[in-house]
Amino acid sequence: TLIFIDEIQNSPNAVSMLRYFYESAKEFFVITAGSLLESLIDRQISFPVGRVDYLYMKPLTFNEYVNVIEDKSIIEVLNQVPCPDFAHEKLLGLFYKYTLTGGMPEVVSVYSENQNIVELNPIYESLLQSYLDDVEKYARNNTLARVMRHAIESSFYEAGSRIRFEGFGRSLYKSREMSEALGEFCISSINISVLP
């Protein structure tokens, strides 16, 4: 029997039951998921050590993207140094498309079928709305939720440029507020900070 528990971080009792399933109910297979497992640190809830295997879901890497989108022959030269001349332009074009589409699995799957970027808009809009709807899960208070919403909505305009926390996205938010908001996204692997 397979038991699937989504958003397990919302139930400390379910977390503690994992030890029971591992030690006393081996006939059950348990899969848990949660986008905010890092939030358990603040709540002092611990996972049963040695009883849980972790799998982190992240966007596809460029290599994985190429493996899905492109003819398999280009994959053979992908990691050659130096890159052969015949493949250089092709790989640059693929990298450009990768940066446009991103590595979210559903986006890559749909794009691989017809390579029409316009058809990805509903998926992007749904993802964006999901992030906005989930802000309360990440925020510890209403002020942080407001700053986080602004950060999500403004990030697209700031992408690819060096940013300052103070006034991020043409806001009046202070450096401390924006740093905390963006930091929460980093903890939950929604975004990655690249420091100079």
Match 């939720």 to its residue by tokens: 145
pLDDT in tens, 37-77: 555 555 566 667 777 777 777 889 999 999 998 877 788 88
pLDDT in tens, 133-171: 888 877 889 999 999 999 999 888 887 788 889 988 889
Task: Return the DSSP state at 99.
Answer: H
CA pair distance 108, 60, nearest whole angstrom: 8
CA pair distance 64, 142, nearest whole angstrom: 38
Name which of 185, 153, 145, 190 is nearest 171 in CA terms: 153
Name which of 146, 172, 170 is nearest 158 in CA terms: 170
- 3-class SS at 4? strand
pLDDT at 39: 54
